[in-house]
């Protein structure tokens, strides 16, 4: 019934994007089969047993398809833009309400329960945030270079993040960070993204190696950028000298005559060594003798220094103990295969034991005997890895990449700014979910509890991802109509 | 630059990173495949029953009973009736609450681990639990065996078992945490025989160790091999009788079958009871601080001065070295006088020949014999003579470890020329300085087992087999060790006058001067020798060694009683009762045995009270 072609000629040439629809159906059905396998037990072997998660997931899929049809043919999202502030505000109220009225599940307050069915507002607020962001950014005359506009757009994203953080759903909040890609596509400078990646690297190096190492890395990279921009030989030579000196701080501190070095931490000494360079650098910038690249490099360096010196505060004060433990576990600082590292370890075993072609549907021992907790929800990728093997994973990953790049492609072609920006929002949300989720199950990223779109068990997720996608498909149909009209 | 191209490139790079990781996990790194099998296949250890220990008559001395360890997987715990739980297992509710609180507070740290919750639950408690196990999700039971001691005797011999500690595990890689291992006694000496071999059943399990099914119908399972049973040389009734006689006394009884070296009974008093042994974990503290040291096995660890029983050794060495003959006579006027001193003796007729000197235990006679040995012209100067003598004594198993199967056996004392060089200066000492060795006093110390072994040597007229507790050692090495005859280097004919003297000591008519009349038994010919060792701490120690019957001896006994006075008074009757019990199977002299058993000699033992 969802075959797009059957409607293609019927209603004034409306055309559902075939690729997106097929990808969607593949993911939903494949997900359902994997949930069946993950939860499978001989007593409840019937795939439509509604006491089991696979039975329930079938219901969610059906409801989602119904919603999809409504979005495609009954409601016209074209009429949404003026309503988006209303949706958004309503969702903010829900997000705030759940903090006080919601039920606590696994330490976070993000669920409403209606009877036995749970509802997670944070899943749906992605939609309203994407819609409002698209609405604001698509208004005539909006520019990210206009400070007021930029702040307005940023606030649209930041407010739900704060509310979700208060619900202690850190994972869901992280997904919103992905929306920075939308800003990037709409005019944000590329170096900001690079700076973001650089800061994450600083964070990791500081924890995994040492603050001194992080500072030396940041300083040398920024100095090289400045050198490439300015080609000043004196500059680069003194910078190299300073870097070498920094590297030897711990060694020098061991010499008895230089014992005073121990009075301050090595990273503080490194900062002191940097000061003369920073002074001349800043003077050049103020005197407008510096090229833009050098300016960004200094800002980046300042951000990096701030990052390095606040890592401990972030680590100890901002993050919750279990999040801290997960990061330490990922970076190999602690190893606790029975405790905090259990999930990931078992998940890696499940995926690793799948081999090239997998053990076959319903044949995974890790899957069958429930070694991986949360396997039907956040860790559903394990089931794919164990039972479908490398081939199955590649196909699944391929479908996701196709889905995301197809959305970006269609969005960029669309002449309507709202559709374009909304498409970027959808693509970045999917991208964050897929990369973080799969990365986490393979032990590449810390454990962040977010679902794999369309595969993970869960009504809220299934529904919100479906709505997110089908609003775009519907908006995209409009473009095709316009094309057809021309 | 086209931002769209850059973005899509970024996405593809991210996807490639994930693919590379997938490739590593699924294609290159093998160890996750093994882990998955290990995860799903549970090698469920089958603990073998530990070998039993039986006595020479087939009585079970050390047996097994099944107990249960209650395990808990905290993550599976649900609310349950803690009061009911505690009543079922008879445990303190506060301990249980404390543990449960710990599990709750350390949820993340504990993860999916399983712990032992209660150890050694009895079968009856377990059967009560089994009926309502469904009420306590998260708990399950595994069966273990524990030791029982059905025969109320010999607790000091068996030793106890306990879970192997970290140090033991480090040195013995074939053991795993939770395995039991013999810590002392026979359990330790014969650990290799008793423990058997662990087996395993391969089961397919889920994450909660819930067993789903047997792997391939048990095709690859390995059954546990139970430990081998040991047959102890101990005679259960005799051992029990000896312990009964020794109550309220401090000392030892050792009885050996001379022809085989098998230990028939070995009592160290005060010792452990089988109840102590069953509850060793609870009782350990009390036993370790008891001033009478019940865990100290005096029979093999205490080096006592042997006193006059040692005269037999000097009599044999003197003959062998040709410095005396059976007819050599020495006179005694209530002692032996030499420049600078006197060694006292009791009143008896004089002069005496060799057999009479044993019978009446004349000190002066042995002072003369010892002086003659030290002045032996074949071994001069005196240090040579002394070394030669020492070597000969060591052949009797005195001053060296006998090599029995007691892990805690000690060697006793025997001085060397160095000892005397140190005390008196090199070349500045003579036979008179070391004269007390003639009568088993001074620097010589022997364990009761060594003295019993001496009695066995005399009974065998010249050899011994290392005293041992286990008759059926399964390995040829130990079989050879405990059947080999150790000749002591004394010609057989030299034993006759000594045996005659020991015979007379017990059997000479009353009034003839025999020192061991109290060991006399109707119809059983006992040959014995008393000893009284001066004790710097309180009353003299008394010792008695004997063997019986005279022809074809069946039993050699040493009784050593601390602070009990002269040797003939208490040690001799105890030894004779043991002999009678063993040879006749019953004791006719009930009056004597009641009196011995009722006597408290412990009261004379000075105990250092610990001041805090």
User: In whole angstroms, what is the distance from residue B430 CA to residue B370 CA?
Assistant: 11
Q: Do A369 and B27 touch (CB under 8 A)?
A: no
Angle at A294 between CA A293 and CA A297, to 5 degrees: 90
Q: Which two tokens stand for residue A296?
A: 């960004």
In a domain, B18, yes or no: no
**Which of A181-185, B48-52, B444-448, B499-503 has the least mean pLDDT?**
B48-52
Dihedral angle computed from the Cα positions of residues B508, B512, B513 and B517, in that order, rounded to the nearest 10 degrees: 40
Rounded mean pLDDT of B16-36? 83
- Give the residue from chain B lying closest to A381, CA to CA: B22
Q: Is A177 in contact with A432 (CB distance < 8 Å)?
A: yes
Q: Who among A342, A351, A394 is closest to B111 (CB)?
A: A342
One domain, residues B228 and B242: no
Identify the CATH number of the domain in which residue B321 sits. 3.40.710.10
Residue B6 lies in a domain: no
Would you tell me the crossing angle of helices A18-39 and A380-413 to the nearest 10 degrees? 170
Phi/psi at A65 (nearest 5 deg)?
Answer: -65, -40
What is this model's ipTM?
A: 0.85
Is the pLDDT score of B507 beyond 80? yes
User: Of B232, B258, B282, which one is at a domain's C-terminal end?
Assistant: B232
Enumerate residues 375 to 404 of chain A having a beta carbon within 8 A of any beta carbon in chain B: 385-386, 389-390, 393-394, 397, 400-401, 404
**Cα(A265)–Cα(A215) distance, rounded to whole angstroms?**
13
The tokens of B372 are what? 């003659």
Instruction: Let me know: does A428 contact A182? Beta carbons within 8 Å.
Output: yes
Q: Are strands B251-257 and B262-269 parallel, antiparallel or unpaired?
A: antiparallel
Partners of residue B252 on adjacent β-strands: B268, B560
| Mean pLDDT over the full length of chain A | 84
Higher pLDDT among residues B520 and A115, named by residue: B520
CB neighbour list of residue B251: distance below 8 Å, 6 or more residues apart: B269, B298, B448, B541, B559, B560, B561, B562, B564, B571, B601
Render pLDDT for B212-234 as a digit per residue (tens, 0 to 9): 566 666 666 777 888 889 999 99
- Give me the CATH number covering residue B98: 3.90.1310.10
Q: Which of B507, B550, B558, B3 is nearest to B263 (CA)?
A: B558
Do A397 and B19 make contact, defined as CB atoms within 8 angstroms? yes
Look at residue A232 in the predicted model and tell me its pLDDT.
Answer: 79
Closest Cα of chain A to B212: distance in Å? 9
Residues B582 and B508 in one domain: yes
Q: pLDDT tens across B117-160, in order? A: 888 888 888 888 888 888 888 887 877 778 888 888 888 888 88
Question: What DSSP designation does B270 have?
Answer: S
- For chain A, what percent of residues have pLDDT higher than 70? 90
Q: What is the pLDDT of residue B350?
A: 82
| Cα-to-chain-centroid distance, residue B135 | 46
Give Cβ neighbours of residue A313 (< 8 Å, ≥ 6 apart). none
Contact assessment for residue B362 and residue B352, using Cβ atoms and an 8 Å cutoff: yes
- pLDDT tens readout for residues A239-266: 888 888 888 888 888 887 777 777 888 8
Name B335's bridge partners: B344
List, for residues B383-411, the tens digit of each pLDDT value: 889 999 999 999 999 999 998 888 788 88
Interchain CB contact of B2 with A (< 8 Å):
no
Determine, for residues B4 and A350 on separate chains, whether the beta-carbon distance falls below 8 Å. no
The model's confidence at residue A3, banded by pLDDT at 50, 70 and 90, is very low
Burial pattern B127-143, b for ≥16 Cβ within 10 A else e, equals eebeeeeeebebbbbee
Alpha helices (H) along B482-598: 495-507, 571-584, 590-598
| Per-residue pLDDT tens over the stretch A427-442 | 999 999 999 999 999 9
Q: Are the beta carbons of A253 and A241 closer than 8 angstroms?
A: no
Residue A11's pLDDT band (boundaries 50, 70, 90)?
Answer: very low
pLDDT recorded at residue A239: 87
Mean pLDDT taken over chain B: 86
- Of the candidate ranges A347-351, B48-52, B106-110, the one whose mean pLDDT is the lowest: B106-110
Q: Which residue in A184, A348, A371 is closest to B207 by CB distance?
A: A371
Q: Could you tell me if B207 and B74 lie in one domain?
A: no
Asked whether residue B205 carries a pLDDT value surpassing 80, the answer given is: no
Place of tokens 């053990």: A359
The residue segments making up the domain with residue B552 are 236-604
- Separation of alpha carbons A467 and A77, rounded Å: 11
> B405 with B289, same domain?
yes
Largest CA distance in chain B: 131
The larger pLDDT score, comparing residue A320 to residue B61, is at B61
If we measure between CA atoms, which residue out of A359, A356, A361 comes closest to residue A29? A361
Tell me which residue has tokens 């940041």.
A218
More confident position, A16 or A339: A16
Facing residues of B586 across strands?
A: none
Helix residue ranges per DSSP H, B341-381: 354-360, 363-374
Residues B227, B369, single domain; the answer is no
CA dihedral A10, A11, A13, A14 (to 10 degrees): -120
DSSP states along B460-482: HTSEE---BSBS--SSHHHHHHT
* Distance in angstroms (rounded) separating the CA atoms of residues B138 and B134: 9
- B20 in contact with A at a CB cutoff of 8 Å? no
N-terminal to C-terminal alpha carbon distance within chain B: 88
- Whether pLDDT at A8 is above 70: no
Q: Do the Cβ atoms of B25 and A348 come closer than 8 Å?
A: yes
d(CA B324, CA B354): 9
Boundary-marking domain end, from B98, B127, B148? B148
Q: Give yes or no for a contact between A157 and A92, defined as CB atoms under 8 angstroms apart.
A: no
Confidence of residue B574 (pLDDT cuts 50, 70, 90): very high
Q: DSSP label at B603? A: G
B27 in a structural domain: no
CA dist B167 and B179 (Å) reads 13
Q: Do B73 and B120 fall within a single domain?
A: yes
pLDDT band of residue B610 (cuts 50, 70, 90) is very low
Contact A340 B23 (CB under 8 A): no
Q: Could you give the maximum distance between any two Cα atoms of chain A, in Å?
A: 89
Residue B39 or A94, more confident: A94
Whole-angstrom Cα distance, residue A133 to residue B424? 107
Residue reference for tokens 């004919």: B493
Chain A CB contacts of B209 under 8 Å are none
A35-49, A70-84, A112-126, A389-403: least confident range: A35-49
Q: Is there a domain that residue B523 lies in?
A: yes
Which of these ranges, A46-55, A57-66, B589-598, has the smallest mean pLDDT?
A46-55
pTM for the whole structure: 0.56
- Domain-located, residue B8: no
Contact, A419 vs A304, CB < 8 A?
no
Residues of A in contact with B2 (CB under 8 A): none
Is the Cβ–Cβ distance between A426 and A476 less than 8 Å?
A: no
* CB-CB contact of A202 with A214 (8 Å): yes
Question: Tokens 């452990």 belong to which residue?
Answer: B272
Contact B7 A185 (CB under 8 A): yes
pLDDT of residue A9: 39
* B351 shares its domain with B263: yes
User: Is the minimum CB–CB distance between B275 and chain A shorter than 8 Å?
Assistant: no
Residues B498 and B576 in one domain: yes
Average pLDDT of the residues in B556-576? 86
Specify whether B135 is located in the same domain as B280.
no
Residues B42 and B71 in one domain: no
Residues A37, A369 contacting (CB under 8 angstroms) = no
Instruction: Count up the domains in chain B and report the number.
Output: 3
- Strands B60-72 and B53-54 turn out to be antiparallel
Within a domain: B22: no
Supply the pLDDT for residue A31. 92
Q: How far is A386 from chain B (nearest CA, A)?
A: 9
Asked if pLDDT for residue A366 goes beyond 80, the answer is no
Residue A350 pLDDT > 50: yes
Q: How far is the first Cα of chain A from the last one, in angstroms, to the nearest whole number?
A: 30
Please state, in angstroms and rounded to a whole number, the distance separating the CA atoms of residues B71 and B68: 9
B395, B399, B403, B583: which is closest to B490 by C-alpha?
Answer: B395
Which among A42, A38, A75, A71 is positioned nearest to A53, based on CA atoms? A38
pLDDT over 90 at B115, yes or no: no
B483 plus B408 within the same structural domain: yes
Per the model's pLDDT, the better-predicted residue between B111 and B425 turns out to be B425
Please tell me whether residues B224 and B247 are part of one structural domain: no
Give the torsion through C-alpha atoms of A452, A159, A89, A416, to 10 deg. -70
Which pLDDT score, from 0 to 100, does residue A334 have? 66
Last residue of a domain, one of B115, B148, B181: B148
């Amino acid at each position: 019934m969802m075959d797009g072609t059957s409607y293609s000629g019927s209603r004034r040439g409306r055309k559902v994007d075939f690729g997106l629809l097929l990808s969607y159906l593949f993911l939903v059905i494949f997900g359902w089969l994997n949930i069946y396998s993950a939860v499978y037990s001989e007593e409840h072997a019937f795939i439509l047993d509604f006491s089991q998660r696979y039975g329930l997931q079938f219901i969610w899929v059906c409801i989602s398809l119904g919603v999809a049809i409504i979005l495609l043919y009954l409601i016209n999202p074209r009429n949404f833009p003026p309503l988006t502030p209303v949706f958004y505000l309503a969702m903010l109220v829900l997000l705030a309400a759940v903090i006080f009225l919601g039920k606590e599940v696994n330490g976070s307050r993000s669920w409403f329960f209606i009877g036995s069915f749970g509802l997670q507002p944070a899943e749906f607020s992605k939609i309203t945030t994407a819609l409002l962001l698209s609405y604001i950014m698509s208004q005539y005359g909006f520019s990210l270079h206009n400070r007021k506009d930029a702040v307005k757009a940023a606030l649209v994203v930041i407010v739900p993040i704060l509310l979700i953080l208060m619900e202690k759903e850190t994972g869901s909040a992280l997904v919103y960070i992905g929306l920075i890609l939308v800003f990037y596509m709409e005019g944000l400078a590329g170096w900001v993204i690079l700076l973001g990646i650089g800061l994450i690297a600083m964070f990791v190096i500081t924890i995994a190696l040492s603050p001194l190492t992080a500072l030396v890395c940041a300083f040398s990279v920024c100095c090289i950028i400045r050198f490439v921009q300015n080609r000043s030989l004196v500059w680069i030579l003194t910078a190299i000298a300073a870097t070498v000196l920094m590297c030897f701080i711990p060694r020098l501190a061991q010499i008895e005559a230089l014992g005073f070095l121990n009075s301050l931490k090595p990273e503080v000494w490194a900062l002191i060594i940097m000061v003369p360079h920073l002074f001349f650098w800043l003077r050049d910038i103020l005197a407008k003798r510096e090229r833009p690249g050098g300016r960004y490099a200094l800002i980046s360096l300042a951000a990096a220094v701030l990052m390095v010196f606040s890592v401990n505060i972030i680590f100890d004060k901002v993050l919750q103990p279990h999040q801290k433990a997960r990061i330490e576990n990922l970076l190999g600082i602690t190893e606790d295969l029975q405790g905090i590292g259990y999930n990931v370890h078992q998940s890696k075993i499940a995926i690793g034991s799948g081999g090239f072609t997998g053990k076959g549907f319903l044949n995974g021992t890790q899957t069958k005997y429930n070694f991986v907790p949360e396997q039907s929800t956040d860790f559903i990728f394990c089931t794919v890895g164990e039972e479908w093997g490398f081939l199955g994973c590649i196909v699944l990953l391929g479908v996701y990449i196709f889905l995301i790049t197809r959305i970006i492609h269609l969005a960029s072609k669309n002449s309507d700014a709202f559709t374009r920006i909304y498409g970027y929002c959808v693509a970045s949300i999917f991208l964050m979910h897929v990369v973080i989720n799969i990365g986490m199950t393979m032990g590449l990223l810390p454990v962040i509890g977010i679902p794999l779109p369309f595969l993970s068990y869960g009504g809220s997720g299934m529904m919100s991802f479906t709505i997110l996608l089908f609003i775009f498909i519907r908006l995209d149909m409009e473009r095709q109509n316009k094309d057809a009209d021309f | 630059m086209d931002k769209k191209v850059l973005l899509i490139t970024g996405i593809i790079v991210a996807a490639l990173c994930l693919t590379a990781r997938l490739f590593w996990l699924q294609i290159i790194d093998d160890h996750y495949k093994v882990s998955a099998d290990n995860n799903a296949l549970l090698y469920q250890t089958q603990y073998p029953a530990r070998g039993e220990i039986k006595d020479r008559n087939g009585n079970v001395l050390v047996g097994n009973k099944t107990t249960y360890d209650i395990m808990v997987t905290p993550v599976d715990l649900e609310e349950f009736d803690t009061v009911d739980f505690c009543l079922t297992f008879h445990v303190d509710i506060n301990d249980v609450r404390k543990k449960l609180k710990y599990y709750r507070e350390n949820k993340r740290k504990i993860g999916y681990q399983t712990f032992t919750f209660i150890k050694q639950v009895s079968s009856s408690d377990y059967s009560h639990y089994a009926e309502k196990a469904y009420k306590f999700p998260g708990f399950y039971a595994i069966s273990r065996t524990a030791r029982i001691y059905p025969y109320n005797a010999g607790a000091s011999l068996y030793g106890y078992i306990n879970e192997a500690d970290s140090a033991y595990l480090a040195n013995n890689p074939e053991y795993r945490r939770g395995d039991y291992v013999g810590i002392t006694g026979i359990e330790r000496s014969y650990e290799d025989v008793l423990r058997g071999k662990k087996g395993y059943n391969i089961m397919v399990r889920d994450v909660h160790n819930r067993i789903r099914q047997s792997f391939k119908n048990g095709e690859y399972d390995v059954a546990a091999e139970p430990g081998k049973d040991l047959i102890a040389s101990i005679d259960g009734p005799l051992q029990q009788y000896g312990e009964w006689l020794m109550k309220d006394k401090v000392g030892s009884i050792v009885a050996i079958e001379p022809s085989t070296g098998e230990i028939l009974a070995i009592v160290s008093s005060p010792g452990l009871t089988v109840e102590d042994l069953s509850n060793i974990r609870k009782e350990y503290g009390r036993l370790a601080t008891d001033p009478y040291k019940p865990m100290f096995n005096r029979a093999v660890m205490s080096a006592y001065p042997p006193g006059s029983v040692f005269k037999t050794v000097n009599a044999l060495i003197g003959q062998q070295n040709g410095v005396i003959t059976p007819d050599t006579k020495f006179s005694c006027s209530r002692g032996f006088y030499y420049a600078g001193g006197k060694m006292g003796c009791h009143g008896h007729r004089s002069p005496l020949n060799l057999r009479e000197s044993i019978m009446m235990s004349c000190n002066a006679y042995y002072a003369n014999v010892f002086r003659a040995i030290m002045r032996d012209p074949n071994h001069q100067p005196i240090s040579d003579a002394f070394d030669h003598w020492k070597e000969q004594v060591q052949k009797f198993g005195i001053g060296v470890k006998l090599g029995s199967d007691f892990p805690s056996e000690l060697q006793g004392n025997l001085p060397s020329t160095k000892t005397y060089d140190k005390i008196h200066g090199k070349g500045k000492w003579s036979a008179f300085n070391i004269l007390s060795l003639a009568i088993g006093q001074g620097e010589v110390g022997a364990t009761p087992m060594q003295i019993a072994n001496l009695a066995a040597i005399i009974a065998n007229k010249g050899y011994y087999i290392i005293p041992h507790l286990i008759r059926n050692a399964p390995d040829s090495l130990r079989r050879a060790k405990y059947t080999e005859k150790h000749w002591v280097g004394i010609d057989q004919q030299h034993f006759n006058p000594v045996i005659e003297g020991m015979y007379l000591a017990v059997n000479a008519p009353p009034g003839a001067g025999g020192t061991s009349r109290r060991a006399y038994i109707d119809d059983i010919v006992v040959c014995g020798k008393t000893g009284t060792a001066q004790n710097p701490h309180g009353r003299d120690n008394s010792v008695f060694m004997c063997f019986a019957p005279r022809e074809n001896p069946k039993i050699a006994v040493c009784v050593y009683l601390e602070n009990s006075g002269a040797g003939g008074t208490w040690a001799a009757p105890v030894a004779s009762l043991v002999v009678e019990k063993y040879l006749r199977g019953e004791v006719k002299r009930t009056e004597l045995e009641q009196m011995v058993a009722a006597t408290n000699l412990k009261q004379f033992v000075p105990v250092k009270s610990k001041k805090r």
